[in-house]
Amino acid sequence: MNPRESLLKLIDVFLSGQDRSMQIVSQIEAVIIDYFLDSDVYEILSEPVSLYRPGEGLPYMDEEEMAESLEEARRALVDGTGGSE
């Protein structure tokens, strides 16, 4: 599985509600750092993955805000504007 497919799979797991843990977000973060550092996907997700703390409140991001960022990143990946692999 290539990095794009791996990232899409992780994003889909979060968006489906199957897993919304910090562990899955850490896996997403690892993929974007390893393979998408110079891309729109990194720009979209770098701040949200670092601020994701479900149930903590401000200044952290909750599940809904994380899902919105992941949906934007998913669109960029599917549209082909997501950057390098």
Give the model confidence (pLDDT) of 67-80 as tens digits.
999 999 999 999 87
Where is average pLDDT lowest: 29-33, 57-61, 77-81? 77-81
Output the pLDDT for position 12.
Answer: 98
Does residue 84 carry a pLDDT above 60? no
Output the pLDDT for position 76.
Answer: 94
5-25 average pLDDT score: 97
Q: N- to C-terminal Cα distance for the chain?
A: 11
Q: Are 7 and 28 in contact (CB under 8 A)?
A: yes
Query: pTM above the 0.75 mark?
Result: yes
Output the pLDDT for position 36.
Answer: 96
- 18's CB contacts (< 8 A; 6+ apart) are none
Does residue 85 carry a pLDDT above 70? no
Q: Are 25 and 49 in contact (CB under 8 A)?
A: yes
